[in-house]
Amino acid sequence: MKINQSLQMMALTALGLMAVACGKIPDAYQGNFKDVTNNVSVTLGSNDGSVTLADGRKIEAKADDGSFDNLSKAAAGIYIRDNSENKNLKEVIWLNPNAATKQTDSNMVWFDSEVFFAIIDTTVKDKVQALEFSHCLKGEVEFDSGSKDLEVGCPVGAESIKATRIN
Amino acid sequence: MTKSRPSVLPYLLSLTVATTGLPAFADNTTPPTRNPGTGTRPNQPPHPTTPTAPTTPTAPTTPTAPTTPTPTTPPAPPAVNTAPATAAGDQDGTAAGAREANERAPGDGRADGQSEGHDKGFEQCRKEAADHAHDDGFREGYQSGQTDGATDGTNKGAADGQVAGQNEGTADGISRADTDSLNNSAEPGRQQGIQQANASDAVSRGQTDGQASGDQDARAAAANQDYPRGRTDYRNSRYNEPVSSQDAFNNKSPVSVASSGITGALVAMLKLSKLTAFLAPRDQVSRRAQGPDGRYNTITKTYSTAAEQTAYNQAFSAAYGRGFKDTYDRVYDQAYQPAFREGSDQGCDQARHQDYREDFDHGRQEGRERGYNEAYKTNYDANFRAVHDATFRSSSDAAYQANYQADYNRHFEDARVGGYNAQYKALYDSAFSQAHDSTYASKYPGYAAAAYQQGQNDEAADFAARPVRMVGASPTETIVNGVFEPGEELRVKITLRNFASGDLKAQDLKVRLEALDASSAVITTAEESLAQSLKGKSVTDVSEALSFHMNENAVNQAKSFKATVIYQGRNCGEQVFQLTTQWMLDLQLAEAVQLHQGLQSSIKVRVHNQATTTTDANTSVALNLPPTLVNVLQATAQVGALASGADKIVEFPVIDIASGNDVLLEVAATATLGSGRRVGALDSQQDVTITNDYRLSVGGEVSALRNPGVVRVRYSVQNANSSLLLKSLQLKATFTGPNASNFVVIGPNPQFLSPLTLGETTTFEVPVLVKGSNSGGTLILQLSEDGRSVLNNQTQF
């Protein structure tokens, strides 16, 4: 169950990776990817994508805009922000929170969440050959509801996942 | 460059999940359905590979995967042939667009052509008229300038020529008079001087002075050469006398070798701008349409089915813009061209009626300046030269006559004096030299013999008064290991020679020691009497004399000392000796100190035995570092028995508690033997760069932690050196000190932080509940990179 979920999350994150600039998936990231070992296929279009898992289930995702409010509600989603050091990089954070764990104290809000994290380069022109991201089931989200400063991270031992292009 | 991450997320992408078993987002409570078997949404267009078969739309297929979610949208409507509606929409839309274009394009083209033609015609004709006016003015001004320039040049040239001719002519005459008079007076003057010198007292004075000088030099030579030779010869004869006895004794008891416990102590622009300003507004108001305004984009035709109506509407809208553009451009151009020509003619006519007086005046001024300058220069030059030449010659001749005689007299006197002095000196020197040499030769032998004898007599008297001499002095150890260590008691071995026939009593003899660099040593016994008398005609080695020890500031430096022997209160000779102080164990940093904030590292010290003996088994090195910068986990390291000439590296585990990039670190180490005797020291100042993969700084008023309430401790973490990607960070906050239980971290502790790329910085906070007022403590922020400890920051408050 854990492996299947991880593969699903990997596919979802891959879809999220593509939906960066104005909701469009860059050309470099479009195409078909496959995890041969786990028999997972990923197809990415210009504005959406799908993943077919080993057990036949298929996952689809589409880009859409959102706001900080969703995060305040411990809502799931893919959050994208600029890398503070390199404007060409985007940090993609996919969250699948456990809303029941949400706590608030002195403007600080925190809750447990499954976390995927990836960094993509928006200047890449050639087709990317691999997508790499980290994943943990029991990550943590915390933010200051006043300043809206946010931190999301994983405990020790987060997984490192890699999917490769087939065409 | 670093900057904080944006605090507000710019995007949120929502996901739709169509499978079971996968956690859906909380706000996607109704997942979209898909067509069983194909996975396409019901309202999606047919597959791209079948676009040419509109009459055979894709039919929904029977679901084949019963485990997939049940579609929640209505079934697709029956297929309708929309091709006729599409064709009709295309035709009607094209006609409607063309209608709008036919209404708008003629007016737009005429207006734009008229406006743009006017601008271009006006500018072209305006420039032609302005140029013509300028040229007319130039011609008129040029003629006027030529007349005035010729008159002014003639007058000014003549005046300037007159003045220049006079000045230059006068200077020429003065110069010629000086040169001629000098040439004519030199030889007569010199001859007169020579004759006067020959009649002077040069010879007699030379002889008198030469004799006196010869006698004086002979006396000096005897005193400077023969007198000291006499003393030296006598002294040598005494030293060459045979020694009757060779003795030795210790002036005091030697110190035991095993003794220890010794311890020690670092313009066209304007036209262009006007034109630009004039044309700019017209350029910006072109009426050429960028697209239809849609005035006839109105659907009037209706269909019985929604599909046909939609097809017609879409085709109509798409064709409207195309119909408009095709017609508009053609009609616009047809109207534009004639309007442009008409506007150009109107603009040109308007330009020709402008006032160009300013251009005429400008041309006239330019012409006048050029005409004036050309005529002035030609006439000036011609008149200047003519008047100048006529004035020059007469002025030169007058000046010559006025100055010649005075110049002659002056030059004659100079030549006479020169001739006199040269001749006088020659006569004097010759007479002086002969008298000096003859006098010196006759007087010197007598003076030399007397001086030599006096030297011998004086030296003999000195030996009688001071019969003992120091012939050698050298330092000796009390800890015999081949090195003069700081703090070690050192003594002097002195060699004395008694030239007298009889014994010299011990109580009449003293030895004295002086450090030429007073800061280098402490003289513990600066003067003492001999312990024994010196036998007649003897050479005696006096060991264990005097006493001193070297200071640590003299380590590895050569220092000089002077030993003196005194007989009956008279200095009888001295010797200067040098010694270089060394530690038994030389301590050096084995490698540059590297510190990592909050992390353990080591400082390595190389120990080298410089002595001739082996250290004892309990020899150790102790490290001392500023406790406010570095925490030394183990301050003492064992060296053990280290053979002569051998090296050993000892390590000290330390943890840096200083923050920032660089610190100036005072590194001190001491080596001691098992007996506790200090035998080595290191005192080094190191500029150490604190290197960590991450840097952490705490900002804000941390001192607020002394007061009760919630305090938000802001911190920034920067990835300074880690190139590992996608590694989450964990930050744990703890407090130490007597009030540690007074602080409670609000929220998760440790906090999990997302990975940072190289150079990236993130800023966040640790909210802390302070239960009550307190006297402060230490906040420790420990940062790990996926479990690997990378930094430990301590902040006092």
* Chain B (618-657) residues lying within 8 Å, Cβ to Cβ, of chain A: none
Please give, rounded to a whole number of angstroms, the shortest distance from the CA of A21 to a CA of chain B: 9
Q: Does A21 touch chain B (CB under 8 A)?
A: no
Angstroms from A120 CA to nearest CA on chain B: 11
Mean pLDDT computed over B550-578: 95
- Find out whether B573 and B280 touch, Cβ atoms under 8 Å: no
d(CA B656, CA B115): 79
Percent of chain B with pLDDT over 70: 86
Q: Which of A59, A89, A147 sits opposite B757 (nearest CB)?
A: A89
Q: Are B320 and B292 in contact (CB under 8 A)?
A: yes
| Cα–Cα dist B16/B28, whole Å | 7
B74 touches B41 (CB < 8 A)? no
First-to-last C-alpha distance (Å) of chain B: 29
Q: Do A149 and B10 touch (CB under 8 A)?
A: no
Average pLDDT over residues B168-176: 92
> What is the DSSP-derived secondary structure letter of residue A21?
B
Report the amino acid identity of residue B255: V
Pairing state between β B729-736 and B647-656: unpaired
Determine the number of helices (DSSP H) and then strands (DSSP E) in chain B: 6, 27
Helix (H) or strand (E) holding B795: strand B788-796
pLDDT in tens, A41-75: 667 666 666 666 566 756 555 555 345 777 788 87
Whether B17 sits inside 8 A of A84 (CB atoms) is no
d(CA B36, CA B19): 13
- DSSP-derived pairing of the beta strands B245-250 and B538-550: parallel
Tokens of A83: 């890398």
Q: Whose CA is closest to A154, among A120, A118, A115? A: A115
Q: Does B139 touch chain A (CB under 8 A)?
A: no
Give me the residue from A108, A134, A140 closest to B767, CB to CB: A108
Q: Vertex A95, ends A92 and A100: CA angle to 5°?
A: 160
Q: To the nearest whole percent, how much of chain B has pLDDT over 90?
A: 56
Report d(CA B210, CA B438) in Å as an integer.
9
Q: Report the mean per-residue pLDDT for chain A.
A: 73
A87: which residues sit within 8 A by CB, 6+ positions away?
Answer: none
CB B467 within 8 A of CB B566: no
Residue B316, C-beta contacts closer than 8 angstroms, at least 6 positions apart: B89, B90, B92, B93, B96, B297, B299
The per-residue DSSP string of B682-736 comes to EEEEEEEEB--SEEEEEES-GGGGGSSEEEEEEEEEEESS----S--EEEEEEEE
Listed residue (B574, B591, B794, B617) closest to B688, CA to CA: B591
Three-class secondary structure of residue B556 per DSSP: coil
Q: Please give the pLDDT value at position A16.
A: 42
Query: How many other C-beta atoms are found inside a 10 Å radius of the C-beta of residue B705?
Result: 22
Chain A positions touching B747 (Cβ under 8 A) are 103, 105, 108, 110, 142
Q: Per-residue pLDDT for B489 more than 90?
A: yes
Q: Where are the domains of chain B?
A: 466-580, 585-689, 694-796
Arithmetic mean of pLDDT, B761-788: 92
pLDDT at res. A21: 37
Residue A114: pLDDT band with limits 50, 70, 90: confident
**Cβ within 8 Å, pair A78-B13:** yes
Chain A residue with CA closest to B732: the answer is: A155
- Give the span between the Cα atoms of A33 and A52, in whole angstroms: 10
B442 has pLDDT over 50: yes
Q: Which helix (H) or strand (E) is B604 found in, with range? A: strand B600-609
Structure tokens at B109: 């083209």
Collect all residues with Cβ–Cβ distance below 8 Å to B665 and sequence separation of at least 6.
B593, B595, B625, B626, B629, B630, B685, B686, B687, B688
Cβ within 8 Å, pair A78-B15: yes
Per DSSP, chain A holds a count of helices (H) and strands (E) of 2, 11
Helix (H, G, I), strand (E, B) or coil at B532: coil
Nearest chain A residue (CA) to B64: A56
Q: Does A106 sit within 8 Å of B764, measured CB to CB?
A: no
Say what the pLDDT of residue B52 is: 34
Q: Of B139, B573, B677, B102, which Cα lies nearest the Cα of B367? A: B139
User: What's the gap in Å between the CA of B741 and the closest CA on chain A?
Assistant: 20
pLDDT interval class at B2 (50, 70, 90): very low
Where is average pLDDT lowest: A7-11, B440-444, B610-614, B742-746?
A7-11
Distance CA B762, CA B764 (A): 7
Q: Counting one residue from A and one from B, how many pairs have CB atoms under 8 Å apart?
A: 214
As a residue count, chain A comes to 167
> Which region among A133-142, B91-100, B244-253, B676-685 has the lowest average model confidence (pLDDT)?
A133-142
Q: Identify the bridge partners of residue B12 per DSSP, sorted by sequence position.
A: A79
Token pair 């005609």 is found at B537
Choose the closest CB to A151 out of B6, B39, B753.
Answer: B753
Query: H-helix or E-strand containing B237?
Result: helix B227-239
Which of A51-65, B87-101, B673-687, B771-785 is predicted with the least confidence, judged by mean pLDDT? A51-65
CB of A134 less than 8 A from some CB of B: yes
Q: Which helix (H) or strand (E) holds B631?
A: strand B630-632
Our CA-based measurement puts residue B90 at a distance from the nearest CA of chain A, in whole angstroms, of 30
**What token pair was written down for A136?**
């943990």
The position carrying tokens 């190191």 is: B686
B258 contact partners, CB below 8 Å, separation of at least 6 = none
Residue B10: is its pLDDT beyond 50?
no
- In this structure, the strands spanning B751-753 and B729-736 are antiparallel
Query: How large is the average pLDDT for residues B37-61?
Result: 34
Confidence at A160, pLDDT banded by 50, 70, 90: confident
Name the one residue in this structure whose structure tokens are 């005696």: B540
Count of Cβ atoms closer than 10 Å to residue B393 Cβ: 13
The answer to whether the CB atoms of B11 and A80 lie below 8 A apart is: yes
Indicate yes or no: CB of A117 within 8 angstroms of CB of B26.
no
Closest-CA distance of chain A to residue B47, Å: 14
B292 prior amide bond cis, ω within 30: no
Contact B188, B419 (CB under 8 A): no
**Which of A85, A98, A112 to mutate: most B Cβ within 10 Å?**
A85
For the domain spanning B585-689, the CATH number is 2.60.40.10
**B9: nearest CB among A74, A81, A96:** A81
- Between residues 710 and 739 of chain B, which touch chain A (CB distance below 8 Å)? 710, 712, 725-730
Residues 40-99 of chain A whose Cβ lies under 8 A from any Cβ of chain B: 50, 53, 56-68, 70-71, 73-86, 89, 91, 93, 96-97, 99
A46-56 burial, b at 16+ Cβ within 10 Å, e below that, comes to eebbbbbbeee
Yes or no: say if B627 and B599 are a contact pair by the CB < 8 Å rule: no
Contact B13 A63 (CB under 8 A): yes
CA angle B312, B313, B315 (to 5 degrees): 65
Contacts of residue B462, defined as CB under 8 A and 6 or more positions apart, other chains included, come to none
Is the CB of residue A96 less than 8 Å from the CB of residue A114?
yes
**Confidence at residue B18, expressed as pLDDT on a 0 to 100 scale:** 29
Is the CATH number of domain B694-796 2.60.40.10?
yes
Backbone angles phi, psi at B713, to 5 degrees: -90, 110
B401 φ, ψ (degrees, to nearest 5): -65, -35
Instruction: Report d(CA B30, CA B44) in Å as an integer.
Output: 19
Residues B53-72: tens digit of each pLDDT: 333 333 333 333 333 333 34
Candidates A75, A79, A144; nearest CB to B9: A79
Which residues does chain B have within 8 Å of residue A135's beta carbon, measured at their own beta carbons?
none
DSSP class of residue B34? Answer: -
- Structure ipTM over 0.90, yes or no: no
B466-580 — its CATH code?
2.60.40.10
Query: Does residue B671 contact residue B620 with C-beta atoms inside 8 Å?
Result: yes
Nearest to B328 by CA among B113, B96, B105: B105
Nearest CB neighbour to A106, from listed B12, B39, B710: B710
d(CA B538, CA B328): 136
Give the nearest partner residue to B760 out of A65, A83, A96, using CB atoms.
Answer: A83
Q: What integer best gives the mean pLDDT of chain B?
A: 84
Give dist(CA B374, CA B458) in Å, integer. 102
Is residue B748 less than 8 Å (CB to CB) from chain A?
yes
Contacts of A133 in chain B (CB under 8 A): 726
Does the distance separating the beta carbons of B726 and A119 come in below 8 Å? Answer: yes
Least confident of A48-62, B612-626, B741-755, B759-773: A48-62
Backbone angles phi, psi at B524, to 5 degrees: -85, -30
List of chain A residues whose C-beta atoms are within 8 Å of the C-beta of residue B760: 83-86
Q: Can you give the pLDDT at residue B499?
A: 95
Smallest CA–CA distance, residue A37 to chain B, in Å, is 21
Beta carbons of B523 and B454 less than 8 angstroms apart:
no
In B61-120, the residues whose Cβ lies within 8 Å of chain A are: 65
Q: Please say if the pLDDT value at position B31 is more than 50.
A: no
B232 vs B213: CA distance, rounded Å = 28
Residues forming beta bridges with residue B33, ordered by sequence position: none
Q: Is B27 on the interface with A (CB under 8 A)?
A: yes
Alpha carbons within 13 A on the beta-carbon side of A120: 27
In chain B, residues with a C-beta closer than 8 Å to the C-beta of A1 are 21
Inter-chain CB proximity B26 and A56 less than 8 Å: no
- Identify any residues that bridge with B736 across adjacent strands, giving them in sequence order: B778
The whole-number pLDDT of residue A61 equals: 53
Answer yes or no: are the C-beta atoms of B417 and B193 closer than 8 Å.
Answer: yes
Common-topology check for domains B466-580 and B585-689: yes
Which of A58, A85, A106 comes nearest B746 by C-beta?
A106
Answering whether pTM is above 0.90, one says: no
Of B8, B17, B725, the CB nearest to A148: B8
Cβ-Cβ contacts under 8 Å, A119 against chain B: 725-726, 755, 757
pLDDT (tens digit, 9 = 90+) per residue, B380-403? 998 898 889 888 988 898 999 999
DSSP B519: G
CA B488 to chain centre: 47
Average pLDDT score over residue span B450-478: 95
Task: Please judge whether B12 and A70 are an interchain contact, meaning their C-beta atoms are less than 8 angstroms apart.
Answer: yes
pLDDT tens, position by position, B508-518: 999 999 999 99
Which residues on chain B are in Cβ contact (under 8 Å) with A23?
13
Distance CA B660, CA B687 (A): 13
